[in-house]
């Protein structure tokens, strides 16, 4: 069992469990031929990720693949720990994101850039949480491969390009669940944003994004079904003209 605690775990639709992790989020999916994850948190989240697969009612031996929204360490950091125990699990990402996923170098804010930002509100609080999550551990996922449309044939999900945050950021639409998994292309809240901000779809703090202008265009072009499952912040759904957190 992990000593880390998720902020919330929500059964969004049959076979779709959203985990708002300690700092970043992931999704557990039931697929016809086994279990899949979308993202896997920070390095320190590996055990918690596996705990949530079991919590969702699955056998860990049925874990088949991990789809990646993007290669930042708060989304792929937990993958090596999962692969250590389940080496047969496939890791799939957009071709343009492979370098970020495989690492160890990635398109991500550097410690020096973060150092220059420490005076910004809430940055220190976020950084402390990131470091406790093992953010500085070098993360490599050499077996990650580029997905093709063939990988989604017959599956209840469709990848959508959501570039800008990183070169190959991807969102995953789950039509049967009326949901989209957005990674950091769209978040609902982030620890660097004011606590008073109500969770709703919004851009992550631009500091974390490689190309903000492109990211804004991508976020506008995404489909928004009833439910948004973001990379940070709670899951939200539409109630009238409002976005409201999905109850856990
Ligand atoms: Zn993130
Ligand atoms: Zn990110």
Average pLDDT for 67-79: 98
Ligand 1 center from residue 77 Cα (angstroms): 11
Q: Is residue 216 part of a domain?
A: yes
Q: Is 246 among the domain residues?
A: no
Look at residue 74 and tell me whether its pLDDT is greater than 70.
Answer: yes
pLDDT of residue 58: 98
Residue 248 lies in a domain: no
Find out whether 133 and 74 touch, Cβ atoms under 8 Å. yes
Tell me the CA–centroid distance for residue 25 and ligand 1, in Å: 8
Q: Which domain holds residue 161?
A: 8-238
Answer yes or no: is pLDDT of 102 > 70. Answer: yes
Region 30-36: what's the mean pLDDT?
A: 96
pLDDT band at 1 (very low <50, low <70, confident <90, very high): low
**Any idea which ligand is nearest the CA of 71?**
2
What domain count does the chain have?
1
Residue 98 included in any domain: yes
Secondary structure percentages of the chain, helix, strand, coil, to 5: 30, 25, 45
Work out the burial of residue 176: count CB atoms within 10 Å of its CB; fewer than 13 is exposed, 13-18 middle, 19 or more buried: exposed
**pLDDT reported for residue 47:** 98
CATH number at 127 reads 3.60.15.10
Instruction: State the average pLDDT for the chain.
Output: 96
Q: Which ligand approaches the C-alpha of residue 42 most closely? A: 1
Q: Which ligand is in closest contact with the Cα of 230?
A: 1
Residue 184 belongs to a domain: yes
User: If you search the block for the tokens 């049967």, which residue do you land on?
Assistant: 176
pLDDT for the residue numbered 3: 82
pLDDT tens track for 179-227: 999 999 999 999 999 999 999 999 999 999 999 999 999 999 999 999 9
Q: How many angstroms separate the alpha carbon of residue 232 from the centre of ligand 1?
A: 6
Residue 1 lies in a domain: no
Angstrom distances, CA of residue 120 to CA of 31, 115, 196, 215: 42, 10, 17, 22
| 50: helix, strand or coil | helix
Distance 70 CA to ligand 2 centre (A): 7
Residues 100-105 have a mean pLDDT of: 96
112 vs 203 pLDDT, higher one: 203
Distance 75 CA to ligand 1 centre (A): 6
Residue 65 lies in a domain: yes
> Does some domain include residue 243?
no
Contact 152, 168 (CB under 8 A): no
199 DSSP assignment: P
| Distance of CA 58 from the midpoint of ligand 2 (Å) | 28
């Amino acid at each position: 069992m992990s000593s880390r605690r998720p902020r919330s775990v929500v059964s969004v639709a049959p076979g779709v469990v959203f985990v708002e992790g300690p700092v970043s989020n992931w999704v557990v999916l039931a697929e016809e031929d086994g279990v899949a994850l979308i993202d896997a948190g920070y390095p320190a989240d590996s055990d918690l990720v596996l705990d949530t697969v079991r919590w969702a009612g699955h056998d860990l031996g049925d874990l088949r693949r991990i789809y990646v929204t993007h290669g930042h360490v708060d989304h792929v950091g937990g993958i090596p720990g999962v692969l250590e125990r389940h080496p047969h699990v496939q890791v799939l990402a957009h071709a343009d994101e492979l370098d970020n996923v495989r690492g160890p170098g990635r398109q991500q804010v550097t410690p020096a850039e973060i150092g220059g930002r420490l005076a910004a509100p809430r940055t220190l609080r976020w950084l402390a949480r990131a470091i406790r999550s093992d953010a500085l551990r070098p993360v490599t996922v050499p077996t990650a491969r580029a997905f093709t449309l063939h990988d989604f044939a017959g599956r209840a999900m469709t990848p959508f390009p959501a570039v800008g945050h990183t070169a190959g950021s991807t969102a995953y639409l789950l039509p049967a669940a009326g949901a989209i998994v957005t990674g950091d292309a769209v978040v609902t809240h982030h620890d660097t944003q004011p606590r008073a901000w109500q969770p709703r779809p919004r851009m992550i703090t631009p500091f974390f994004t490689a190309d903000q202008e492109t990211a804004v265009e991508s976020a506008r072009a995404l489909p928004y079904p009833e439910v948004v499952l973001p990379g940070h912040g709670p899951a939200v759904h539409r109630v009238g003209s409002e976005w409201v957190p999905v109850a856990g």
